[in-house]
Amino acid sequence: MVDVAGKDVSKRIARAAGRIAMLPATLERVRAGSATKGDVLGIARIAAIQAAKRTAELIPLAHPLPLTRVAVEFSFEATAVAIEVTAETLDRTGVEMEALTAVSVGLLTIYDMCKSGDRGMRIEGIRLLEKSGGKSGHFTAA
């Protein structure tokens, strides 16, 4: 792990996003809350938050961080469900990995809960949208 002891503690925020494309019938079941396994987005939200909190257990050189906030938002597109996660901490290193891990696990949870009817779903476009705080300053994706 990188030594972060010499860095200043500051408010660190990261936003990440991704999407899962699916059949129209699958999208409608998710929207209506009528999937066989239950409330897809409710469970995916909890999974994303849990993943953010456990990032250091999953990513070998990630620092364990005390998260002060994890927000998970879903939106519906024409053929997909999109997710955006905001992670925040007051620490010496950023929360980009926490936000990206949360997005990934949230989308994987949607896949798991809907796979019985649509194995062709595609997880796409996982990316960092924005990060702030720390020595490297503000980043916004183009």
Which three-class secondary structure state does DSSP give residue 70?
strand
**Alpha carbon distances (Å) from 6 to 9, 90, 91, 97, 136:** 9, 15, 12, 21, 14
Contact at 8 Å (CB) between 87 and 128? no
**Alpha carbon distances (Å) from 18 to 132, 136, 140:** 19, 24, 16
Contact at 8 Å (CB) between 12 and 126? no
**Alpha carbon distances (Å) from 88 to 18, 25, 93, 97:** 18, 35, 11, 11
One-letter identity of residue 97: M
- Residue 8 annotated to the active site: no
Catalytic residue among 3, 8, 91, 112: 112
* Positions marked catalytic: 112
